[in-house]
Structure 1
Amino acid sequence: MAAPTRRLIRPALFICDLQEKFRPAIHEFARVVSTTQKLLKAAQILDIPVFATTQLRSKLGETCPELGLDAANGIKTKAHVDKSAFSMLVPELEKAFRELGDEKREVVIVGIETHICVTQTTLDLLKQGHKVYVIADAVSSCNPQEIPIALARLRAEGAVVTSSESFLYECMGDAGIKEFKGIAGVVKEYNKATRENLEALCKM
Structure 2
Amino acid sequence: MNVLARLEPETTVFLMCDIQTRFRNSVHEFDAMVSTAAKMLAFAPILEIPVIATEQNPRALGPTVPELDLSPLGDLHLGTFPKTLFSMAIPPVLDALHARNTKAVVLFGIEAHVCVAQTALDLLSEGFAVHVLADGVSSANAQETPVALARLCQAGATVTTSEAAVFELMADSARPHFKAFSAAIKATQPSTRTALNALMPRSAL
- Structure-1-length-normalised TM-score: 0.91
Separation of aligned partners in 2, 1:162 and 1:96:
24
- In structure 2, stretches of 5+ residues that fail to align are 1-5
Deviation at 1:156, TM superposition (A): 0.8
Deviation at 1:96, TM superposition (A): 2.0
Deviation at 1:181, TM superposition (A): 1.6
Q: Paired residue for 2:3?
A: none
Deviation at 1:42, TM superposition (A): 0.5
Separation of aligned partners in 2, 1:62 and 1:49:
20
Deviation at 1:176, TM superposition (A): 1.1
Q: Paired residue for 1:69?
A: 70
Q: How does 1:1-204 map to 2 (within 5 A)?
A: 8=8, 9-70=10-71, 74-76=72-74, 77-101=77-101, 104-203=102-201, 204=204
The one-character-per-residue Cα deviations of 1:2-35 (angstroms, maximum 9, x if unpaired) are xxxx961411000000001100000011111101
Aligned residue type for 2:86: F
The one-character-per-residue Cα deviations of 1:127-172 (angstroms, maximum 9, x if unpaired) are 1111111001110000000000000001111111011001111111
Deviation at 1:97, TM superposition (A): 2.0
Answer whether contact 1:140 1:147 (CA < 8 A) is retained. yes
Separation of aligned partners in 1, 2:172 and 2:12:
16
CA change 1:170–1:142 in 2 (3 A) is: same
Q: Paired residue for 1:3?
A: none
Aligned residue type for 2:98: R
Answer whether contact 1:7 1:174 (CA < 8 A) is retained. no
Higher helix share: 2
Count of residues paired in the alignment: 194
- In structure 1, stretches of 5+ residues that fail to align are 1-5
Separation of aligned partners in 2, 1:168 and 1:69:
18
User: What percent of counterpart residues are identical?
Assistant: 43
Separation of aligned partners in 2, 1:61 and 1:27:
18
Aligned residue type for 1:44: P
Deviation at 1:98, TM superposition (A): 1.9
Deviation at 1:75, TM superposition (A): 2.8
Separation of aligned partners in 1, 2:59 and 2:200:
32
* Runs of 4+ displaced beyond 3 Å: none
- Structure-2-length-normalised TM-score: 0.91
Separation of aligned partners in 1, 2:157 and 2:104:
11
Secondary structure of 2:81's counterpart equals strand
Aligned residue type for 1:142: A
